Amino acid sequence: MLNVLRSVVHGLWMGASLMVWATLVIVASVFMRGVPLYWLAVWWLRGCVTSARWILGMRVRVSGMENLPSGEGSPAILLVKHQSTFETFLMPTLMPHPLAYVFKRELIHVPFFGWAMRRLDMVHIDRSQRAQAFAKVVDQGKRLLSQGIWVIMFPEGTRIPRGEVGSYKSGGTRLAIATGVPVIPIAVTSAKCWPRKALIKRPGIVDVSIGKPIPSEGREADELMREVRDWIEAEMRRLDPEAYPTRQAASLSEAPLEAISAEAVPTVAPEAQADEQVSATRP
């Protein structure tokens, strides 16, 4: 019952603050764009993180920060495990560089949240036009990376229930090869506290593990994605062993990759879209 009450209170806070934040971002976009506007938007995400800590009792334990490239001119593509919208809100609060999400264009029509997202320097694609969509990802990805903005993608394309493995798509590694940028695999156990499509959240610790950069030069997209997938899924089993049956470990290396022309990206949407927000903090 306490978790229900906490979840309701947090959801109300998120909904109310979202309208204020989105309006502020939209108005501010008349006077500023690019990186300054991005960091203004991250303020709201930090507020979500803080409120989740105090209202929901959720915390984050991060390892591997030393693996992130240092320096203004060090580009990277983040490939992240996807269990809930948690990680889409959390990553900008952890990373030292601005992030550009690749997301489906339908999201820009979501009231307040989508309107604000449209004002930020992100990559929104029409997934029905696969070849053209990937060309847009490469074109805009090169521009953003050259400006010191890191690109973030979720290779599974959609939220995957705890203990399961999604079909890893090669859009992220294809972009890395096209731009010559290393990829950074990241494992996140968000579903331990914020299950997929769950309205009720639980207190606890969510682990975020950041892997070492993997060079993309001279690699094949599927081969590189297989390495990313194997690292992430092995790390998920280390961080959350009770969620994964032993038999899955043996079959992981044989699981097929789904190569597509454009990366399928998750629904980065507020609770108003039904079931998600971010709530976690560093301990």
Question: How far apart (Å, rounded) are the C-alpha atoms in residues 91 and 73?
Answer: 20
Read off the pTM.
0.84
In a domain, 31, yes or no: yes
Contacts of 233 (CB under 8 A, 6+ apart): 165, 252
pLDDT at residue 274 above 50?
no
Model pLDDT, residue 184:
97
Q: Which is higher by pLDDT, 250 or 138?
A: 138
Model pLDDT, residue 195:
85
Residue 263 domain boundaries: 2-273
CA-CA-CA-CA dihedral for 183, 45, 267, 22, to nearest 10: -130
Model pLDDT, residue 71:
74
Average pLDDT, the chain: 83
> Residue 81 in contact with residue 191, Cβ under 8 Å?
no
CA 17 to chain CA centroid, Å, is 21
> Residue 255 in contact with residue 73, Cβ under 8 Å?
no
In a domain, 201, yes or no: yes
In a domain, 183, yes or no: yes
CATH number at residue 107: 3.40.1130
Q: Which is higher by pLDDT, 282 or 170?
A: 170
In a domain, 280, yes or no: no
In a domain, 282, yes or no: no
Question: What share of the chain in percent tops pLDDT 70?
Answer: 84
Total domains, the chain: 1
pLDDT at residue 74 above 50?
yes
Question: How far apart (Å, rounded) are the C-alpha atoms in residues 127 and 79?
Answer: 19
In a domain, 278, yes or no: no
